Chains A and B, each alone.
Chain A
Amino acid sequence: MKRYAKKCLAAIFILALTLSLFGCSTSPADNPSGGSTSGSSSGGSSSGGSSGGSSQTPARTDLTYGLTGDPQSLDPAKSTDQMSRAVWTQMYETIARRKSDGTYEKRVAESWEMSPDGSEVTIKLKKGIKFHDGSELTAEDVAFTYNRLAEEPKTKGMMVSMTGSSTTVVDPYTVKVTLTAPYGPIVDVLCIEGRIIPKAYFESVGAEGFAAAPVGCGPFRFVERKTGEKIVLTQFEDYYGTKPAIKDVTFKIITDTATAVASLEKGELDFLSHAPLSAKRSIQDNKKLSWYETPIKGLIYVCFRLDSPIFQDVKVRKAIQMGIDKTAMVIGGVEGNGTPVSTMIPESCICAPQGFPDVTYDLEGAKKLLKEAGYPAGFSVTLYTQENATYSKPTQVLQGQLQAMGINAEIEVMERSAFFAGQTAANQYEIWVSHWTAPTGDSDFIYQLAHSSMIGATNTIKVNDPALDAALDKGRTSSNAADRVAAYTKACQIIQDNAYWVPVYTFAAPCAANKALNGVIPDDIYVFYVSDWSW
């Protein structure tokens, strides 16, 4: 009996070992190790090596698009999250689409004209554009949409330039947007955020009805939604533009990124917008998949509480600025899939300073500065962070770098909402790592972080610098690109001289797709147009 039991135990151990070895396997059996054509790009262009659809099977007309979160709302005025935006981009249209070369591809707008002082935009609309409910797009709809976006609590902050503005109907196909103050990038904001909805339909069904059955004038119309599971769109037959090659789009929500990658490998997904950087190698090695990436229009940076007894001293801040090894931060924070940045405005942003010189990494210099500031033995500080790896990983690396300078840093991990609340609380953190992405890709996003008028809101470090304010005001109100670049260059210089923040790195905005899917271009704010794709 004992011998028999021992044999059984041995068999079970072998089985368990086999299962665990299987689980550690890194690449599927059908993938070659060489000859992969899916690469990465740092120049903002695709590198997927997609070479057209298979000649053996008829071209597909359906697409399954993987989302790693559930969209908050299908009403463009009720949310600002990227998952919702992924769906809106297919259903709604804006006045134009800004291309990577800075030119515009006109969509519902025929033309527009800025007033000389930049406080008014007159937009002429194309005629004959239909909404999904059959009604025609007119100036009434555009005016209604813009005024609503400027008033709704969830979008007001994003459309900050339009707060207090009014959009009026000049004639059935012309609107005038009147701002309270000149705003240079207003057209870019309208291109990204000004998704037009039909006024009459909205008023007939109400906000809740609209969110449940949204109507736009984009190439795809809404079919159904199962919350937390999927959203189904289909081609809009009366679309005014070129009919997309893909007729049916299903957005599948898979919050676990490992499962999303497995689904992509299995073929249950055709495109994954927020592919995890940890899966880069396995996707690149998979002959059926392509990996795309481009630097995100955002960054990771270190914040200081400027009224803190320690960090109100500019020498302490500059010491830390000098003592942060950004290359090590990139390796530790995003496994090398990023680029150190020298300014708070990534170079990929519209009107961003280019080639701005960075502070040289000098650990000994940092220690010397700390000594001059009165901290020869360093000091103790708590680094607050949240569970999200975007924040926690660079925080862990920062801890080590602070300790190298003689600063004893302890990490405290907060729950997500508590972490964000702590950034603006009365007893907020003294030093922490944060992240920001430019929602429209324009350098003006720095206004929200750095202008004194945003203290108590997004200016979490409470910086109040008149020279910085003036530079940001200039960048915001000017319509001239060269003037805006000069203004933001000055702003970045002020920030660096005072070490209000330490910009650390920007990282990749990756996506992955079936290799047979043509036309995929990585986007730095995750805006993808399925209508550009084909099998």
Chain B
Amino acid sequence: MFKFGIKRLLIMIPVVIGISFIIFSIMSLTPGDPAEMALGPSASPEDKFDWRERQGLNDPFFTRYLKYMSNTVRGDFGRSYRTERAVFGEVCERIPTTLTLAFCATFVMVSIGIPIGILSAVKQYSAIDVIGTFGALLLTSMPAFWLGLMLILLFSLRLDLLPATGTDGWQNYILPSITLASAVMASLLRMTRSNMLEVIRQDYIRTAKAKGATPKSIVFKHALRNALLPLVTIVGINFGGMLGGALITETVFAIPGIGSLLVNSVRQKDTPVVMGCVLFIAIMIGMINLLIDMLYVYIDPRLKTQLIR
């Protein structure tokens, strides 16, 4: 398993390099002058040229890219064109908030999606099944922007139960987590339901019933574990998506996360910050995928031999 982990980490390196090259190319090719965005419209052409010279933007594309990558390997991710602060610091400041939001949203997603999915499967076509499926579909259909504002109006303004914005305490993460989780809850619920339905119709479940196993042990000990593999994949993929894709939630609830930093930097043509954010997200997703694969082995030990091979 250790060798497997090392192998996967090494494979991540060319993947991250590929991603960095693509993003660097896109930022170089898209129209817009970072000098104008950084210095403002009043700057003279001479000052803009000097600024580009200092940033190395007058060099050829590959020279700039290689310079960037060689600095990155040494831990220097450059400085923001906009704020002139170190990119590493800017990104690191936002990581705790982003991770907290992603974990909270994943917790909401898992704690609602999986139990309701199980109930829906076990009591197929019952009221719980209909309500659960429809409810999840309804939540997914609501745009995050709208849902977030509605939650603020209801729970913050009308009922005065929760804060509307900020990250001062754990209460600040409740509404954003629900907003972020709602978009992906339906897929988890439906996947749980369909997997469970498939598993509970298997012969070994019938055998367990015949042997007198309790419904609870059939569901949680025999069925769920076998249905869990695809669910772990979905949870992992969605968690990775939340790291950089929570822009709307971050904007609505004024949460300073990686998503809002990334989009604002793209708008400002602040390439170093964009690269820093993308590299962080790419590495995190790679690590999450590795973790998922290791969880597979824990859930289904039969996979261990396949992975080692």
Contacts and interface: CB of A to CB of B under 8 A. Distances in A.
Contacts of A254: 165, 254
A426 interface: no
List of 3 A-B pairs having minimum Cβ-Cβ separation, nearest first: A157-B42, A228-B256, A417-B32
B204 interface: no
B167 to A, nearest CB: 7
Interface string B166-178: 1100000000000
Interface stretch (A261-269, A271-279, A308-316): A261-269
Interface in B19-60: 30-34, 36-45, 47, 50-51
Interface string B138-160: 10000000100110111011101
Contacts of A160: 42
Interface string B258-288: 0011001001110000000000000000000
Contacts of A166: none
* Interface size class, chain A: 35 or more
Given A226-B93, A229-B167, A262-B157, A418 B32 contact: yes
Contacts of B264: 70
Given A256-B252, A417-B33, A8 B127 contact: yes
Interface string A210-226: 01000000000000001
Nearest to A158: B42
A12 to B, nearest CB: 5
Given A19-B150, A420-B36, A229 B47 contact: no
Interface in B187-201: none
Contacts of A73: 83-84
A73 B84 CA distance: 9
Contacts of B254: 229, 252-256, 259, 263
Interface stretch (B99-107, B128-136, B220-228, B299-307): B128-136
B5 interface: no
A263 B167 contact: no
A12 B268 contact: no
Interface of B: 30-34, 36-45, 47, 50-51, 82-85, 90, 93-94, 125, 127, 130-131, 134-135, 138, 146, 149-150, 152-154, 156-158, 160, 163-167, 251-254, 256, 260-261, 264, 267-269
A470 interface: no
A101 interface: no
Given A252-B254, A262-B156, A268-B163, A415 B32 contact: yes
Contacts of B131: 8, 12
Contact of B135 (A12, A22, A211): A12
Nearest to A414: B31
A66 to B, nearest CB: 9
A157 to B, nearest CB: 3
Nearest to B163: A268
A259 B165 contact: yes
